[in-house]
Amino acid sequence: MSLLKNLQSLEKQYAVLEPTQHQRHELNKKIEDFSDVFLDDIDNIAAFNADDKVTSLFKLDDQRQNLDEILSIYRKDVIGKGIVASSPGHLGYIPGGGIYASSLADYMAAVSNEYAGIYYASPGAVHIENETIEWLKKLISFPQSAVGNLTSGGSIANLIALTAARDKFKIKNEVIRKSVIYLSPQVHHCLHKAVRIIGLEDIQYRIIDLDENSRMLVSDLEQKIQHDKDQGLKPFLVVASAGTTDTGAIDPLEQMADVSEKHGLWFHIDAAYGGFFIMVNSKKEAFKGIERADSLVIDPHKGLFLPYGLGAVLVKDREAVLHSHHYLANYMQDAHQDHVTDSPADLSPELTRHFRGLRLWLPLKLYGSEPFKICLQHKLLLTQYFRNSLKNMGFNLGPEPDLSVSYFWYACEASIQNQFNRKLLEYIHKDGTVFLSSTLINDQFVIRMAILAFRTNTNTIDKAVIMIKKALKLCLKDFKLIA
């Protein structure tokens, strides 16, 4: 067989990878029908299925299946197991919900396969990504000179910020063991992971005491920094939270900024969960001082209700970010021209980069920011609505929340209280109508609510109350607290 005929034969054999227009329409119709059925019925789907036994065969063995069969598997053993993250009843961790317009943006980005890493490769895509960064900087009141990056989530965003802080203060070699980081016991665990990843595993931690509302005590922060300096150590990083995962607490940002500035430390704020509540007028005062951070993390896939896969980091010191992330390679000499700060790949560990910014840009262009602001305000009020309902049922509540995360527990004899509430949560999970999670507050087991999904409404909370009442009755019976 000639070379040409061989090539033509091979081209026919892999032509299945490029479906015709008619074939695309058929595939699209099946996906559209699947999506419509799922979304139209999402209020009636249990938010959690504790059965984790997957019955479908996911094995890749070159046995072909049609799309109908594949969608059936997906519905049964992907959506149908564990947490339904898009459900209005997902109140357990920090939900977002996944607005529909973002899924269309992801489809557009995937079909066109735009590469959003280097300006030279796709100036339009990079401009869109950078415009979302500009929008975020204005929202947080960061200076125009700050740089930013859209990441897969808060973990990578925090990693970039902490790397910049490390490089700014030259924390390396023998300096590591004498350097100190100050943070809350409720700081997100991805900060601890980031410290290890960037080579600072042997650094010294100082855990700052909290007040009754789980906010860091500035007096304790100040005292510990001064003590470490007196001991000849090198304090360099203060980490605050604008909405902790455990309790939704906002640390005293303004005062912490004062202390950090006084001692010449890098001030980082993890606002992954709570940052977008700055859009709500009643909460703006609580975020006073956020604009003074040296770096900040905020997740659109939380507070702007986008699908998982979009965090953001803002850093004021451009050179500190470029120090670790800007590299040149011979094969990319055409791409590196005069657009260093325009290229997301120069501000992130990622070179290969999905055009993830479109999933934020498109909804903002379609709807503007006002519906997002209103939805956030709604979640704050809905949290109060849930707390009022729980109080009327006889539950004890945590302190008035800063945002939309709160917790509760059923008070009984101290020796069995944690055991009782663990069992109560087991019954709640077994029901699954609404998904709640738990945490420990001063070694006390509490049940945690996180109200942020854009689909969550009063009907959702009413369902949760009915579910909790049933679970409580069963639990009281188990512990022989009722006949």
Q: What is the pLDDT of residue 330?
A: 46
Angle, helices 21-40 vs 67-74, to 10°: value is 20
Q: Are 397 and 387 in contact (CB under 8 A)?
A: yes
Q: Are 99 and 454 in contact (CB under 8 A)?
A: yes
What does DSSP assign to residue 208?
P
Q: What is the pLDDT of residue 97?
A: 86
Q: What is the pLDDT of residue 266?
A: 98
Geometric angle at alpha carbon 118, from 116 and 119, rounded to 5°: 95
- Provide the H-helix boundaries in 75-209: 100-112, 123-140, 154-168, 189-197
Q: What is the pLDDT of residue 121?
A: 87
Adjacency order of strands within the sheet including 204-207 = 147-151, 311-315, 295-298, 266-270, 234-241, 179-183, 204-207
Structure tokens at 402: 């800063």
φ, ψ for residue 96 (rounded to 5)? -125, -45
Structure tokens at 369: 């920011």
Q: What is the pLDDT of residue 439?
A: 94
Domain 107-367, architecture per CATH? 3-Layer(aba) Sandwich (3.40)
Q: What is the pLDDT of residue 370?
A: 97
The pTM score is 0.94
In the chain, where are the structural domains located? 107-367, 370-478
Q: Which CATH class is domain 370-478?
A: alpha beta
Tell me the mean pLDDT per 10 residues along the chain, length 483: 92 94 97 96 91 79 90 91 92 90 96 91 93 97 96 92 95 94 92 91 95 96 97 97 93 98 97 97 97 97 96 96 76 51 85 93 97 98 98 96 96 94 96 95 95 96 97 93 72
| Percent of the chain that is helix, strand, coil (3-state, to 5) | 50, 15, 35
Q: What is the pLDDT of residue 62?
A: 83
CA 238, distance to chain mean position in Å, is 21
Q: Tell which phi-psi region holds residue 480, choosing left (phi > 0), alpha (psi between -120 and 50) or beta.
A: left
Compute the distance between CA of residue 431 and CA of residue 105 in angstroms, rounded to an integer.
Answer: 35
